[in-house]
Amino acid sequence: MTDDIEPDLVIIGGGIAGLVAAVRASELGLRALVLEQGEGLYRCNSRYTGGAFHLCFHGLDESGPALTTAIAEGTAGFADPALARAIGHEAAATVAWLRRQGIRTIKAGGDPWRHKFLAPPSLMKTGLHWQGRGGDVMLRTLRQRLESLGGQLRCGVRARRLALEAGRVVGVEVEAGGARETIRARHVVLCDGGFQANLDLMREFVSPAPEKLKQRGAATGRGDALLMAREAGAALRGMENVYGHLLCRQAIDDARLWPYPILDSVAGASIVVDPAGRRFLDEGLGGVCMTNAIARLGDPLSAAVVFDSAIWRGPATDFILPSNPNLPLSGGEVLRAETLDALAVKIGVDPAGLARTVAEYNAALDAGTAGGLSPARSTHKTRAWPISVAPFYAVPLAAGVTYTMGGIATDDEGHVLKEDDSRVEGLFAAGCSTGGLEGGAQSGYVGGLTKSAVMARRVAESIARKPRTAASATVRHSEAAH
């Protein structure tokens, strides 16, 4: 694609959603231009990903209707039915399409949700290791494929504002190399990956103290697409939830302790308490839901998980890079005491409050009435273990945020919608800049890679079906950047 030809679509963001949309559009004969704010091997969550293609921890070999139902159940009915149906029915075909572009996947475990992992798989080590691994290789491969089809990726370009004419989006104003320019296109596609690194937006929608959350991903999602879309009249959906995991509090400052090990399995079997020693969330709803509950606290660094030696020998050894033994081996502190009172002193919680909470909790488990606790302790997802076998343990917690679940409202072809469900003409969105699929009262997680790839591919195909106007010269207006 030459610089004097107006692209059919300009795409904001060079992660999986942006590059999939661009490659598929180029396959279909469209001129695609991707704008990415980073340089070189730019940081983004797609490059850091663990690499699992799944839907609500279901394998993609299940039928489309079964996966659609899994999304509805996994989000407790929050997911937009049309989005759930589109993603459930096209997930397997989209991964097969990715393989045809040169993306390799492997079977990484016995569970069906682990059967489609990006290759080479992530190193089974704590800390962050991404170069040459699945996500990094995927983005390099997609970029090469895009360029072989005549598409273009421009780095070091940050989108600032949508260009509108008569209510239709006709391009985007960007900042690059200290200057401003307007790039015109038939359509603009927003794929910049969420707003988790924008503390103002996080404070508006997610947490009263976002500076006390741990950025568990690339920390490059600044919400530019969301802000531009909102200014252009777009509706927002499901803004209050994030996808993330429980980390030890030391991970705030210690790079050895994120993105793994995580404490979800430990907390899911145990109790999570506040400084008064009281439970304040339902541990049975899983790590993503607990992460959101902690993020909403006035002080998100005030919670701790409390458990006993049976849990440390059992659930703490489960899942990917389990906290036992990886947390202490990586420098994370697991506090231990022979009595609950002594443990309470070590973690700075009220001993009497913790003793009362544990007694009530254990009694409810014995009586089979955990659902009657306040807050309720559900057991349909994870087993609740008693806290009774000395020595006792605790780990102060941090909420680790990978990406925001909420964002721009779209239909099942990726058209950006206004509050009345009419379209913002000329504007599309895909991936983690969108909302309406994940979240809800139980912070339902669907799967970032899968939803991003499916919807980006659908966006490209939707644009390809639209009537094509005659090509015109690209209009660029340069001015000094403010």
Can you list the domains of the chain with their CATH numbers? Answer: 9-237+405-480 (3.50.50.60), 243-401 (3.90.700.10)
Question: 125: pLDDT confidence band, cut at 50, 70 and 90?
Answer: confident
Please choose, from the candidates 146, 154, 62, the residue with its C-alpha nearest in 3D space to the C-alpha of residue 103.
146
Q: Which amino acid is at 322?
A: P
DSSP secondary structure letter of residue 286: -
Question: 469: pLDDT confidence band, cut at 50, 70 and 90?
Answer: low
Report the phi/psi class of residue 398: left, alpha or beta, with left for phi > 0 and alpha for psi in -120 to 50: beta
pLDDT at residue 477 is higher than 70? no
Residue range 21-70, pLDDT digits in tens: 999 999 999 999 999 999 999 999 999 999 999 999 999 999 999 999 99
Residue range 407-420, pLDDT digits in tens: 999 999 999 999 99
- Give the span between the Cα atoms of 135 and 16, in whole angstroms: 9
20, containing H or E segment: helix 16-27
Cα 279–281–285 angle (5° rounding)? 135
pLDDT at residue 3 is higher than 90? no
Question: 482: pLDDT confidence band, cut at 50, 70 and 90?
Answer: very low
Question: 472: pLDDT confidence band, cut at 50, 70 and 90?
Answer: very low
Q: Does the predicted TM-score (pTM) go above 0.85?
A: yes
365, containing H or E segment: helix 351-367
Please choose, from the candidates 46, 48, 26, the residue with its C-alpha nearest in 3D space to the C-alpha of residue 36.
46
User: What mean pLDDT, rounded, does the chain reach?
Assistant: 95
Residue 474 has what pLDDT?
36
Average pLDDT rounded to a whole number, residues 351-364: 98
Question: 361: pLDDT confidence band, cut at 50, 70 and 90?
Answer: very high
Residue 4 has what pLDDT?
62
Identify the residue whose tokens are 């703490």.
316
**Structure-token pair, residue 94:** 């989209």
**Structure-token pair, residue 36:** 């990415």
Report whether the peptide linkage leading into residue 315 is cis, meaning its omega lies within 30 degrees of zero. no
Residue 449 has what pLDDT?
98
Strand, coil or helix: 278: coil
CB < 8 Å & 24+ apart, contacts of 321-327? 321/124, 321/125, 321/126, 321/260, 321/261, 321/262, 322/261, 322/265, 323/261, 323/262, 323/263, 323/265, 323/266, 323/395, 324/266, 326/126, 326/260, 326/261, 327/248, 327/257, 327/261, 327/263, 327/395
Q: Are strands 392-404 and 304-308 parallel, antiparallel or unpaired?
A: antiparallel
pLDDT at residue 480 is higher than 80? no
**Structure-token pair, residue 223:** 């919400």
Question: 467: pLDDT confidence band, cut at 50, 70 and 90?
Answer: confident
User: What are φ and ψ of residue 364, in 5° steps?
Assistant: -65, -40
Question: 468: pLDDT confidence band, cut at 50, 70 and 90?
Answer: confident
Average pLDDT rounded to a whole number, residues 261-282: 98
- For the chain, state the CA radius of gyration: 23
